[in-house]
A = this chain, B = another copy of it.
Amino acid sequence: MTLMKSWLESANSEDTPFPLNNLPYGVFSMDDGEMRCGVAIGDRIVDATGLEAAGILRADPEADVLDAPYWNDFMELGPKAWAEYRAALQAMLGAGADEATRDALTTYSVPMAKARLHMPFRVSEYTDFYAGRHHAENVGTMFRGPENALPPNWLHIPIGYNGRASSVVVSGTPVRRPMGQVKAPDEAAPRFAPSARFDIELELGAIVGQASDGPLTVAQAFENIFGYVLLNDWSARDIQAWEYQPLGPFQAKATATSISPWIVTAAALEPFRVDAPAREVPLLPYLAEPGPMLYDIALSVGLTPAGGRETILSRTNGRELYYSAAQQLAHHSSCGCPMRVGDLLGSGTISGPTKDSRGSLLEMSWGGQEPIALQDGGSRSFIEDGDTLALYGHAQGRGYRIGFGTCTGTVLPAEAPPG
C-alpha cells in the first residue's frame, strides 16, 4: 500500500500521522466548547457531526448517529456501515474530488491546532490483558523469581482482568499520584501513603464495535473490533505488590488509564497485519487464528521532567504481543460473557526482548535497581511529580504512516486524604 493522495496538501506529507489512508475518528471542541465528532486529515479535523446534520455525509439515512460527543452510535451500525462511511470520506477527501465537494469539506473542517480533543467514545467496560510475553516474564521474575516467571497458564490463556472504565481519560488529562496501602517486606504493617513506585504501561487498546451475547470465534471477534488507540495503564507498583494476591490488581490500576484521542480503525491498519510469534505449545481450538491478527506498529515512550527536555526511554512494536486483540475478545466471550459496543481491551504492556524495548519503568529500571539516565542529567526509577509521560505510535507504510497521535499525561503530587 502506498500513499492515497488528498486534495488537502497537509495530508500528503510523508510525516503526517493523518494521511487519507488513516482517517481516524475523534471528538473535538472549538472555542464554543460544543463537542462534535471529527475525522483527522493532515492538519485539519473534518466536522463529521456537521456533515451529517447538513446531509452531506450520513452514516445512517434514518438516524443522526454523530449528533453526540462519542462514536458509539456510529459503531452500533456495524462493519458494512463502517466500510461505506470510510469509502465515502476517502472519495470526498481524495485528489479526485470535485470543486463543490472540496468547498463543502473545507467549510466543514477546522484547523486541528485550534481544537481541543476529548474522549472519542464512551467506555462501556474496560478489560486489561497481559498478552506481552517479555513483560510477563520480566514482571514474573521480579515478583516471583525466575523459576516462576511465566505462570503455568500463560501460554494457554490470554490472561486478563477487569479494569475500571470510569478511570479512562483522554490524552492530556493530568494524573494525580495515588494514595494507597503499601507495605514493604520488612515492615510489620501496611501504611496509607502516596505511591512511591508510580509507573506507566505502554499498551494498545482495542475498541469493541459490535455487541455479542455468547462465545465468539476468533474470526468473529476480529470483525467486531472497530479500531485501536494507544493506552497507558498507569500503575502504582507498591500498592499492586501488597494488594494483588489473591484476586488481582485493583486500586493500583484504578487512578487513571490514558488513551490517545484518535480511534485508528482496523481498516486503516489492515495493510500492517503480521503473524503472532511461533506458539510454544498448541493453543486450544477456540483460540486458533485464521490469519495474521497482530499489527506492525512502532511504539515508543518519552519522559519529560518539569521544565526539561524529553528523553525517549524505550522503543518497541505491536508485533511483540503473543495474543491478538481478536484472541483476547474470543477468550473474553468464551464463558458467555456479553460484550458491548464501547468495551475497551488493553493489550497488556508491550515489551520487546531487549532492555531498551521495555514498556514500563518497572522493567526498564528492573524494580528500581538500575535507574534510567535522562538527557538533562538525573535519572528515574519511577515517575516523579511533574514528569510528563508520552506514548507514540505509528504503522509505517511506503511513503506514508498511520499515526495514532500522542498519549500523554503529567503527574501531579498526591493529595492528603479527606476526613
A residues sitting closer than 8 Å to B (CB atoms) are 124-125, 130, 140, 143-144, 151, 153, 156-157, 159-167, 176, 178-181, 183, 189-192, 214-217, 219-220, 236, 239, 242-252, 254-256, 281, 284-286, 331-332, 334-340, 415, 417-419
Contacts and interface: CB of A to CB of B under 8 A. Distances in A.
Judged by DSSP, the binding face of A is: loop
A178 B336 contact: yes
A162 B162 contact: yes
Contact of A217 (B157, B190, B334, B418): B418
Q: How many copies does the complex hold?
A: 2
Contact of A338 (B166, B189, B192): B166
A249 B214 CA distance: 19
B166 A247 contact: no
Contacts of A153: 181, 183, 190, 242-243, 245
A247 B246 contact: no
9 contacts: A144-B246, A161-B247, A179-B335, A179-B336, A192-B334, A254-B337, A255-B335, A256-B336, A285-B419
B248 A246 contact: yes
Nearest to A284: B192
Given A156-B181, A190-B284, 17 more contacts: A140-B246, A151-B246, A156-B190, A157-B242, A157-B243, A161-B161, A164-B337, A166-B337, A166-B339, A167-B337, A179-B334, A180-B335, A189-B281, A191-B284, A220-B419, A256-B336, A334-B417
Contacts of A331: 251
